[in-house]
Amino acid sequence: MTSKIETTNDLRDEKIWRLVIKYSIPAILAMMVTSLYNTVDRAFIGSMKDVGALAISGLGVTMPIMTILGAFCVALAVGGSTNIAIKLGEGNREEAEKALGNTFAIELLVGIVMMVISIFFLEDILYLFGASSDTIKYAMDYMSVIMFGAWFNLPGFAMNSAIRGEGNPKLASNMMIIACLLNLILDPIFIFGYNMGIKGAAVGTVICQLVICLWSTYYFTKGKSNLKLKLKNIRLEKKIIKGIVIIALTPFFMELASGFIHLITNKVLKVYGGDLAIGAMTAITSINLLFMMPIFGISQGMQTIIAYNYGAKQYDRARKTLSIAVSGAVVILTIGLIATRLFPIQLIGIFTKDTKLMELALNGLSIYSITLPAIGVCILGTVYFQSIGSAKKSIVLSLLRQVIVFIPLILIIPRSFGLNGVWASQPLADIGAMIIIGLCLIKEFKD
């Protein structure tokens, strides 16, 4: 186990490229396994006899509410782990432990509230998000189970993120990898073995979320952690919660915007392509996610490095971290772009064999994925401002790609170009956001 002193010395003195590799590779592996799980999960659902196309369309309907759940889950975890890293950078262990306890408390509270809301209003929400009489059964079967697990999913994810924030990225990633591999085993057992269908996929998921929660909590209570989760700190303290929420606002609005975009996109897709167009978008976004997951891993790895060094007033090291991270992201996403051009049929074929659905998805993928390399700058540039505590700027920049630029495009362009206009809206938004975020970064580096 790496000691606290060795960890903080590494963050302060180790070469940046080595730190980026050390902190990003475990996170990338975890994200790739998670992406593999999502891919196989949707492939299992899409292969369900006679109902696969409608089932994957039903899963697509759940994406807005899944993203809203993720907004709270990820944002508060990021806010907590970033505060932990900053406090450790300042040499304040006691405040870091308070941030850990408060993060656990607020995630638990939000999880319980979301579970209760879903008990009474889930069906109405899913209809609002684009469900039809043909897809509502599949959406309800999946989301009713997922929302039941919110009360342990949210604090579990936060504790796992905090493990990375305290300087142990390898363990945090190993937990995610093991849980995802377990998920891959459980999915076919529940979906096909117990004939639970799409509900079986959700059961497998929440079991693995419970494993993460118990394991991460054990680590901070009985394990060899640098920080300890103490009962006296599991409460809501205004000052600490404010610090967590300020940093959490950026990823929260990013995730919330993503959910809002899923909602609008589903509505527009239904107008121009029907239920199967929603299923096609589910397949397309799943493919893009395969290549974007490593970027999320890089963002997690660089966040700890930037937050610590910024807290220690080593600003050049923080900026160099971003430069190296962006370079790696562009390379990875360019490979992804090439793959979508060389193997589109094979990639779409993972999710469906339905002729009509595949035809829609192939056309959409050729347009939707064209600006993949630009997304690296959009994501990591925003995370940089978030990591240094520049909340207002990071919030505005995070909303550029998915709200400020995208919404007008998807509401206007399809009127002239139909379904192709829906596919083209996101890449056009990516280009606009990349230019603006790039200019903001150039200005920040010159100051």
pTM (2 d.p.):
0.68
When pLDDT is cut at 50, 70 and 90, the band that residue 61 belongs to is confident
Q: What is the pLDDT of residues 113-155, one digit of tens each?
A: 999 999 999 999 999 888 888 889 999 999 999 999 999 999 9
Query: Does residue 165 carry a pLDDT above 80?
Result: no
Query: Does residue 255 carry a pLDDT above 80?
Result: no
Q: Please tell me which of 24-28, 35-39, 52-56, 227-231 the model is most confident about, judged by mean pLDDT.
A: 227-231
Query: Does residue 274 carry a pLDDT above 90?
Result: no
Percent of the chain scoring above 70 in pLDDT: 94
Once rounded to an integer, what is the mean pLDDT over residues 226-252? 89
Query: Does residue 27 carry a pLDDT above 80?
Result: no
Query: Does residue 7 carry a pLDDT above 70?
Result: no
- Note down the domain range covering 150: 4-446
Which pLDDT belongs to residue 333?
Answer: 96
Total domain count for the chain?
Answer: 1
Q: What is the pLDDT of residues 284-310, one digit of tens each?
A: 988 998 899 889 889 888 888 888 888
Which pLDDT belongs to residue 52?
Answer: 61
What is the residue-averaged pLDDT of the chain? 87
SS (H, E, C) the chain: CCCHHHHHHHHHHCCHHHHHHHHHHHHHHHHHHHHHHHHHHHHHHHCCCCCHHHHHHHHHHCHHHHHHHHHHHHHHHHHHHHHHHHHHHCCCHHHHHHHHHHHHHHHHHHHHHHHHHHHHHHHHHHHHCCCCCCCHHHHHHHHHHHHHCHHHHHHHHHHHHHHHHCCCHHHHHHHHHHHHHHHHHHHHHHHHHCCCCHHHHHHHHHHHHHHHHHHHHHHHHCCCCCCCCCHHHCCCCHHHHHHHHHHHHHHHHHHHHHHHHHHHHHHHHHHHHCHHHHHHHHHHHHHHHHHHHHHHHHHHHHHHHHHHHHHCCCHHHHHHHHHHHHHHHHHHHHHHHHHHHHCHHHHHHCCCCCHHHHHHHHHHHHHHCCCHHHHHHHHHHHHHHHHCCCHHHHHHHHHHHHHHCHHHHHHHHHHHHCHHHHHHHHHHHHHHHHHHHHHHHHHHHHC
Question: Pick the residue with more confidence: 353 or 381?
Answer: 381
When pLDDT is cut at 50, 70 and 90, the band that residue 3 belongs to is very low
When pLDDT is cut at 50, 70 and 90, the band that residue 37 belongs to is low
